[in-house]
A and B are shown apart, each in its own frame.
Chain A
Amino acid sequence: GNSVTQMEGPVTLSEEAFLTINCTYTATGYPSLFWYVQYPGEGLQLLLKATKADDKGSNKGFEATYRKETTSFHLEKGSVQVSDSAVYFCALSKAAGNKLTFGGGTRVLVKP
């Protein structure tokens, strides 16, 4: 079946540091890939997505590139802020019904 694996947290960084969260997936064919973010006490928000190989999704300074050859969709940001502290979820969609399969989430804590 489909699955998503992402690095376990928490990831603790200082402000302006570089952030990478690794995400790999298992699925047949070509899934669509997503990053969602959950700020403390809030719901899930779409951060970015990519629907085909080599596509790059970007939003709010975050980027992720759909790598078919390595089945990966790593999330990066060049300079994090305290406000980026949140839990980040990698997910894929590839099934009738548009079902999302989520990774386990990675908590990121950015310190001033």
Chain B
Amino acid sequence: DTAVSQTPKYLVTQMGNDKSIKCEQNLGHDTMYWYKQDSKKFLKIMFSYNNKELIINETVPNRFSPKSPDKAHLNLHINSLELGDSAVYFCASSPQAAMNSGNTIYFGEGSWLTVV
């Protein structure tokens, strides 16, 4: 069974559309994340939720809205898509976040978003 699963894996959509990417983890973790990987492979955190509560929001445009209905799910909704949103979006999870934590973060397989 896939530990962190996200759907869809591939998404091609037009500028201006609204789309969602869903993520679920079956690891029993308390913390979930969204990371963005750009065309140069650079990875950066977007959001982090701990037990459904937002704890990290890294200056992401408010067109991006994460939603965590429960601690096993963290969905990413994107409004008014722009060309620059084309990227790979990774969902991830870890045991409860803590200061100086060495907890391993487990990643999903990524969602390849292309905006045309």
Identify the A interface with B (CB < 8 A). 29-32, 34, 36, 38, 42-46, 49, 51, 87, 89, 93-100, 102, 104-105, 107
Asked if B45 is an interface residue, CB under 8 A from chain A, the answer is yes
Chain B neighbourhood of A94, CB < 8 A: 100
Q: How far is the CB of B45 from chain A (nearest CB, A)?
A: 5
- CB-based A-B contact count at 8 angstroms: 71
Residues of B within 8 A of A45 (CB): 107
Q: B residues engaging A (CB < 8 A)?
A: 31, 35, 40-45, 48, 50, 55-56, 90, 92, 94, 97-110
Flag if B42 contacts A43 (CB, 8 Å): no
In the complex, which residues of chain B have a beta carbon less than 8 angstroms from the beta carbon of A93? 101-103, 105
Question: Could you say which residues of chain A place their CB within 8 Å of the CB of B97?
Answer: 96-98
Given A105-B41, A105-B42, A98 contacting B107 (CB threshold 8 A): no
| CB < 8 Å neighbour of B98 from A31, A87, A98, A102 | A98
Q: Is the CB of B56 within 8 A of A99?
A: yes
A1 to B85, CA, bound (A): 25
